[in-house]
């Protein structure tokens, strides 16, 4: 289980995350929603041990992100949106293999995982080509494979289909569903309500760093008497935060 309990993060006078609490169970995809600047990426960075919470507790499968960061990092795979940061002069295989070695994996395990991920992410046509001339979608798939080469139990995806065409996004979505079927814990940040409705079991909506609402898509549509999640989202982030 992923647990975020009464977590706040401050940068000098700015409170980026404010007393935020939610959880994600095994085999569950939870969408973390909010406008730009709402605190989504800061929350993901705290879960991944890249930032320390100012207050509160975050546990990943029982490990505390502050006191047991190395154990937490062994449990998670994370993909942030934006520049994927591949080594252009290395092939896709070599980029993925390098991260496997950083995780201390035996070569046989690395080779097996690369074969699995090449199949799952439909990368066979370019797995041994240099990454420098890859399309955005190709780079995104390699970046995902690189981040999860060690078979993590917890998956953190920040805008995983940003900039992808329909076919590439479909492959990513199918892969996320496969992770769910493998009983992994999945936290997904996305600006696409269509993607959220397609993938997520529940959503957590934040505004100005704090919790606004959470629940299943069906629950929120019923509660706010609307079938339009974008309309519900805009209504919520424009209103008062729930304490």
Q: Over pLDDT 90: what percentage of the chain?
A: 70
Report the chain's terminal Cα–Cα distance, integer Å. 23
Residue 139 falls within a domain, yes or no? yes
Domain of 91: which CATH number?
A: 3.40.50.300
Residue 192 falls within a domain, yes or no? yes
Q: What is the pLDDT of residues 13-56, one digit of tens each?
A: 899 999 999 999 999 999 999 998 899 989 999 999 999 999 99
Query: How many domains does one find in the chain?
Result: 1
pLDDT surpasses 80 at 163? no
Residue 173 falls within a domain, yes or no? yes
Owner of token pair 């939610």: 22
Residue 104 falls within a domain, yes or no? yes
Residue 45 falls within a domain, yes or no? yes
Residue 120 falls within a domain, yes or no? yes
Full residue range of the structural domain in which residue 52 is found: 2-237
Residue 242 falls within a domain, yes or no? no
Q: What is the pLDDT of residues 114-156, one digit of tens each?
A: 999 999 888 999 999 999 999 888 888 898 899 889 989 999 9
DSSP letters spanning the chain: -EEEEEEEEEETTEEEEEEEEEEE-TTEEEEEE--TTSSHHHHHHHHTTSS--SEEEEEETTEETTT-HHHHHHHEEEE-SS-----TTSBHHHHHHHHHHHTT--HHHHHHHHHHHHHHTT-TTTTTSBGGG--HHHHHHHHHHHHTTT--SEEEEESTTTT--HHHHHHHHHHHHHHHHTT-EEEEE-S-HHHHHHH-SEEEEEETTEEEEEE-HHHHHHHTT-S-HHHHHHHHHTSPPP-
pLDDT surpasses 50 at 186? yes
Q: What's the rounded Cα separation, in Å, for the pair 57 and 224?
A: 31
Residue 243 falls within a domain, yes or no? no
């Amino acid at each position: 289980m992923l647990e975020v309990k009464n977590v706040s993060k401050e940068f000098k006078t700015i409170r980026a995350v404010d007393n935020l609490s939610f959880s994600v169970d095994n085999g569950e995809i939870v969408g973390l929603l909010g406008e730009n600047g709402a605190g989504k990426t800061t929350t993901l960075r705290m879960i991944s041990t890249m930032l320390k919470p100012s207050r509160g507790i975050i546990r990943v499968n029982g490990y505390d992100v502050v006191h047991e960061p190395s154990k937490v990092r062994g449990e998670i795979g994370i993909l942030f949106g934006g520049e994927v940061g591949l080594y252009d002069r290395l092939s896709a295989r070599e980029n993925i293999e390098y991260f496997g070695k950083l995780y201390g994996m035996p070569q046989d395990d690395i080779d097996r995982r690369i074969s699995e991920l090449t199949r799952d992410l439909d990368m066979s046509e370019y797995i041994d080509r240099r990454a420098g001339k890859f399309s955005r979608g190709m780079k995104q798939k390699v970046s995902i494979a690189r981040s999860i080469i060690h078979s993590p139990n917890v998956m953190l995806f920040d805008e995983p289909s940003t900039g992808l065409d329909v076919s590439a996004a479909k492959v990513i979505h199918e892969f996320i569903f496969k992770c769910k079927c493998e009983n992994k814990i999945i936290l997904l940040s996305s600006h696409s309500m269509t993607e959220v409705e397609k993938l997520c079991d529940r959503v957590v909506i934040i505004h100005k760093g704090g919790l606004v609402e959470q629940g299943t898509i069906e629950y929120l549509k019923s509660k706010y008497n609307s079938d339009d999640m974008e309309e519900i989202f805009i209504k919520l982030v424009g209103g008062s935060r729930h304490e």
